[in-house]
């Protein structure tokens, strides 16, 4: 019985220690870099969901641009523009009216220019 109480006390002590450590550690501001050409553009209630394709590798991803809140003070780039930027690793849902259209990573910062591909 004493052995069981001792193991429970050790477990609770480790649990408390992990909680204290988690309070002291600040989360990192993780961002994911992306780049490519805007392929499609879906308006949402509070932003725009865009499909961005990297022409070199063929990789693609959906990204959510919110032109209403900073730092996105620029309008979202239209299809055919080349985009480079950073996105938060947490997806955001695109809802148009009451219909959900998909989700994309929230764009934190970006730059865009017309592509030379003749879109």
| Residue whose structure tokens are 């209630």 | 45
Output the average pLDDT for the chain. 78
Q: Is the pLDDT of residue 18 over 70?
A: no
Contacts of 50 by beta carbon, 8 Å cutoff, 6+ apart: 38, 39, 40, 41, 42, 62, 63, 64, 65, 76, 77, 104
Q: Is residue 11 included in any domain, yes or no?
A: no
How many domains in the chain? 1
Domain encompassing residue 89: 32-114
- How does residue 91 score in pLDDT terms, banded at 50, 70 and 90? confident
Q: Is residue 20 included in any domain, yes or no?
A: no
Q: Is the pLDDT of residue 105 over 70?
A: yes
pLDDT, one tens digit per residue, over 20-42 is 665 555 555 667 888 899 998 88
Q: What is the CATH number of the domain that holds 60?
A: 2.40.50.140
Q: Is the pLDDT of residue 117 over 80?
A: no
pLDDT at 73: 63
Q: Is residue 13 included in any domain, yes or no?
A: no
Question: What is the mean predicted confidence (pLDDT) over 74-95?
Answer: 86
Q: Is residue 66 included in any domain, yes or no?
A: yes
């Amino acid at each position: 019985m004493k052995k069981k109480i001792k193991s429970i006390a050790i477990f609770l002590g480790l649990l408390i220690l992990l909680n204290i450590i988690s309070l002291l550690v600040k989360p990192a501001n993780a961002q994911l870099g992306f780049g490519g050409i805007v392929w499609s553009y879906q308006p949402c209630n509070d932003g725009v969901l865009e499909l961005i394709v990297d022409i070199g590798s063929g990789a693609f991803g959906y990204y959510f641009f919110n032109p209403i809140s900073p730092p996105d003070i620029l309008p979202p780039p239209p299809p055919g523009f080349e985009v480079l930027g950073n996105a938060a690793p947490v997806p955001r849902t695109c809802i148009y009216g009451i219909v959900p259209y998909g989700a994309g990573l929230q764009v934190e910062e970006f730059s865009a220019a017309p592509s030379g591909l003749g879109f």
